[in-house]
């Protein structure tokens, strides 16, 4: 899919006056796809809500002591796989559109941050990186759920199956913050010796971040974040909330360490479902995305 054919969208941080694809190091890709949500619906509206909320972010990051958007350049490309306009869009069509678009962004040497939309989208993004990069990489997953079912409700591309599809690509994974799995997933974790960082252990182990970092055995990393991995007291606007999630600064400390110790090739942030009469979820998600771009700009391993 040619980027020129994508619809014009609101720019992250309201930066229409300065945003330029040619000069941007970081590109945000909104993917408002929703087809398999099993509890609270609305994640197809997540990208719009995040872009709208980003207007209220401070350009200056007090942690990084920089105006990331001016140092890096951030551009938001048009929507891909928009089920609000095409409710009949199949998962296969969504994945193909996503992979084609991300492939072009990779060729243009952009740092891509995908915004969903449901977590099934990640398969298409990761596939693009696997095809483009001639070495294996680890997919670091922040999530409340394992998302490792073979299929769910008759679909191989249900949001509950995304990490199973990633594993089938032959890529190692590091699930972090997990606190809800089914028996099938528990058996898979044991059989494949997947190094899960359980939320219950994180709560009582002050050294969990370094232990998690040590489980990443490849130089390159892709980060996928389902925002339900963060505690619902901080981001309540999710499809399937689970108590006992990661704290805000805990999440940022972990992400920064991943960037400091590994080559992060791309990211996505999925599953935000806006709450009526509340903006805390989309604002927090927008700030999280800005942090990811900032860490890539100023903290990444050289």
Instruction: Average the pLDDT over 63-72 and give the result.
Output: 95
7-21 pLDDT tens trace: 778 999 988 777 789
Tokens of 141: 């997953």
Place of tokens 């979820």: 281
Burial 82-120 (b: 16+ CB within 10 A, else e): bbeeeeebebeebbebbbebbbebbeeebbbbbbbbbbb
The 10 Å CB-count burial string (b at 16+, else e) for 43-57 is bbbbbbbbbbbbeeb
Q: What are the boundaries of each domain within the chain?
A: 3-298
Taking only the tens place, the pLDDT of each residue in 97-152 is 999 999 999 999 999 999 999 999 999 999 999 999 989 999 999 999 999 999 88
CB-based contact 261:179 (threshold 8 Å) = no
Rounded to the nearest angstrom, the gap between the alpha carbon of residue 43 and the centroid of all alpha carbons in its chain is 13
Model confidence at 1: pLDDT above 60:
no
What was the pLDDT predicted at 5?
66
CB 33 within 8 A of CB 114: no
Q: SS3 for the chain, per residue?
A: CCHHHCCCCCCHHHCCCCCCCCCCCEEEEEECCCCCCCCCCCHHHHHHHHHHHHHHCCCEECCCCEEHHHHHCEEECCCCCCCCCCCCCCHHHHHHHHHHHHHHHHHCCCEEEEEECCHHHHHHHHHHHHHHCCCCCEEEEECCECCCCCCECCECCCHHHHHHHHHHCCCCEEEEEECECCHHHHHHHHHHCCCCEEHHHHCCCCCHHHHHHCCCCCCEEEEEEEHHHECCCCCCCECCCCCCCECHHHHHHHHHHHHHHCEEEEEEEECECCCCCCCHHHHHHHHHHHHHHHHHHHCCCC
Residues 45-74 have a mean pLDDT of: 96
- 20 exposure class (CB count in 10 Å sphere: 0-12, 13-18, 19+): exposed
pTM confidence score: 0.96
pLDDT in tens, 211-240: 999 999 999 999 999 999 999 999 999 999
Strand partners of residue 145: 180
pLDDT the model gives residue 87: 81
What architecture (CATH level 2) is domain 3-298?
A: 3-Layer(aba) Sandwich (3.40)
- Residue-wise pLDDT for 148-176, tens only, equals 999 887 778 888 899 999 999 999 999 99
């Amino acid at each position: 899919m040619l980027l020129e054919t994508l619809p014009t969208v609101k720019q992250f941080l309201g930066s229409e006056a300065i945003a330029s694809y040619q000069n941007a190091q970081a590109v945000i890709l909104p993917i408002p796809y929703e087809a398999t949500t099993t509890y609270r619906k609305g994640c197809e509206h997540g990208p719009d809500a995040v872009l709208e909320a980003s207007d209220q972010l401070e350009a200056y990051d007090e942690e990084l002591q920089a105006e990331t958007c001016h140092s890096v350049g951030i551009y938001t490309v048009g929507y891909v796989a928009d089920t609000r306009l095409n409710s009949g869009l199949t998962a296969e069509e969504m994945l193909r559109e996503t992979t084609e678009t991300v492939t072009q962004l990779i060729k243009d040497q952009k740092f891509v941050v995908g915004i969903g939309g449901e977590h099934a989208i990640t398969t298409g993004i990761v596939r693009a990186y696997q095809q483009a990069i001639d070495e294996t990489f680890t997919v670091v997953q922040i999530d409340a759920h394992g998302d490792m079912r073979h299929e769910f409700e008759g679909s191989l591309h249900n949001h509950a199956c995304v990490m199973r599809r990633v594993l089938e690509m032959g890529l190692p994974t590091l699930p972090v913050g997990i606190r809800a799995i089914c028996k099938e997933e528990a058996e898979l974790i044991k059989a494949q010796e997947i190094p899960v960082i359980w939320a219950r252990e994180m709560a009582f182990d002050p050294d969990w971040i370094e232990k998690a970092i040590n489980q990443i055995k490849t130089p390159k990393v892709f980060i996928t974040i389902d925002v339900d991995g963060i505690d619902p007291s901080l981001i309540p606007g999710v499809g399937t909330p689970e108590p006992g999630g990661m704290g805000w600064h805990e999440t940022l400390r972990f992400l920064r360490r991943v960037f400091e110790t590994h080559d992060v090739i791309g990211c996505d942030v999925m599953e935000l479902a806006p709450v009526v009469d509340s903006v805390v979820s989309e604002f927090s998600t927008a700030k999280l995305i800005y942090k990811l771009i900032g860490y890539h700009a100023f903290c990444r391993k050289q």
